[in-house]
Structure 1
Amino acid sequence: MKLDAFNRLGDEAARAAVRPCADIDRWVDAVVAGRPYATVEQLLETARASAAPWTVTEIDGALAHHPRIGERPRGGGAEASHSRSEQAGLGEPTSDVAAALAAGNRAYEEKFSRVFLIRAAGRSADEILGALNGRLAHTEEEEIPVVAEQLRQIAVLRLEGIIGS
């Protein structure tokens, strides 16, 4: 969708277009309320600024829709489609890396009670595994800002993909 078409959408249609980027009502409403945007960069800057800070409740609500890293997202919705595209660049990890990701995902979920989230786009499976292992050493207080930043990066990348320049 082009920016001018996004600017002309009704509020509900615009919310529906933005929501798969990050299912956080306050953020979706801020991005939609900022219209009309003169440039895609202005839209993306609003999206970045509106994501700071996200609360733990907002983060956990948004993460309820995210698949585990290394698992193929299921379903036909826009969010699942975005996740499939983002993880496609990982390729097929070796069986050792796949097993380590699965074990790391379980350990992360046991420790933090949420899925491990990382911007997969542009990263290899080995890079993601290294980040996962490093983040397992975090406390909850250290991890929340990292998760929030990863979610923000994902949301902005998705929005950029939806609203072509």
Structure 2
Amino acid sequence: MPAHRLPDRLIPGPSRGTCAPLDAFNTAPAESARHTLLTCLHSLRWADRVTAHRPYPDLPSLLAAADEAAYDLSPQDVAEALAMESLPDLPDGTYEVAHTALNAAYAAYEAKFGHVFVISVNGVSPDEALDHVLATIRSRLTNDPEDERQVTAEELRNLAKGRLVELLAGAGP
């Protein structure tokens, strides 16, 4: 299953009754928590660091820890995470011409930078997602490899945080 299509809840609550998703994440066996985190960002180092600092008192604390761990990713860690990323999910019914333009832009990006294009479309309306992705990929194609590495790392951090929020929806503000 692509990382951007995560199940609503990957860690079941304890058998004594249901508990908040964050509580389930905090009390899950380390391997289960690590597996859950890898669905948000496929970096072993990142998942290990976030898992090791449990329990988290609230969702903002978890997101801050995830963000901090992502800032410490080496170029190899970023490459590991990128290897498991898929293209952004766009709305159904996008015109064929737009798909052709998008596929050409993806191909140009991958040829220049050697990895898949990643972007967080959180907060972008579905009607604007295609235009946003096309404009962004065209803009990022002008980056030099080092600048793009930094932008890509930031997008991976944003994707991981968005996926954690989606995964732990209802865990608190």
Question: TM range, normalised to the smaller chain?
Answer: 0.7 to 0.9
Give the letter for the 2:151 counterpart. Answer: V
Instruction: Tell me, yes or no, if the aligned pair for 2:22 and 2:168 is still in contact at 8 Å.
Output: yes
In the alignment, which of 25, 29, 34 is matched to residue 15 of structure 1?
34
In structure 1, stretches of 5+ residues that fail to align are 70-86
In the alignment, which residue of structure 1 is the partner of 2:162? 157
CA deviation vs aligned residue, 1:107-151 (integer Å, no higher than 9, x gap)? 011101101111133331011100000000111011011000100
In the alignment, which residue of structure 2 is the partner of 1:126? 131
In the alignment, which residue of structure 2 is the partner of 1:34? 53
CA deviation vs aligned residue, 1:80-115 (integer Å, no higher than 9, x gap)? xxxxxxx25x34322222111100001011101101
Stretch of structure 1 that moved more, 119-128 or 32-41: 119-128
SS at match of 2:71: coil
C-alpha displacement of 1:56: 1.8
In the alignment, which residue of structure 1 is the partner of 2:112? 111
CA deviation vs aligned residue, 1:43-83 (integer Å, no higher than 9, x gap)? 111001111032221111111112234xxxxxxxxxxxxxx
Instruction: Tell me, yes or no, if the aligned pair for 2:45 and 2:73 is still in contact at 8 Å.
Output: no
CA deviation vs aligned residue, 1:4-58 (integer Å, no higher than 9, x gap)? 1111111111111111111111110111111111111111110011110322211
Instruction: Tell me, yes or no, if the aligned pair for 1:97 and 1:126 is still in contact at 8 Å.
Output: no
Q: Distance in 1 between matches of 2:165 and 2:146?
A: 30
Q: Distance in 2 between matches of 1:97 and 1:16?
A: 35
Q: Distance in 1 between matches of 2:146 and 2:25?
A: 37
- The RMSD of aligned alpha carbons is 1.4
Q: TM-score, normalised on structure 2?
A: 0.80
In the alignment, which residue of structure 2 is the partner of 1:79? none
Q: Distance in 1 between matches of 2:57 and 2:86?
A: 34
Q: Distance in 1 between matches of 2:135 and 2:100?
A: 14
In the alignment, which residue of structure 2 is the partner of 1:102? 103
Report whether the alignment pairs 1:52 with 2:71: yes
Q: Distance in 2 between matches of 1:112 and 1:137?
A: 11
In the alignment, which residue of structure 1 is the partner of 2:18? none
Report matched runs for 1:82-101 at 5 Å.
Answer: 87-88=89-90, 90-101=91-102
Say which structure is richer in helix: 1
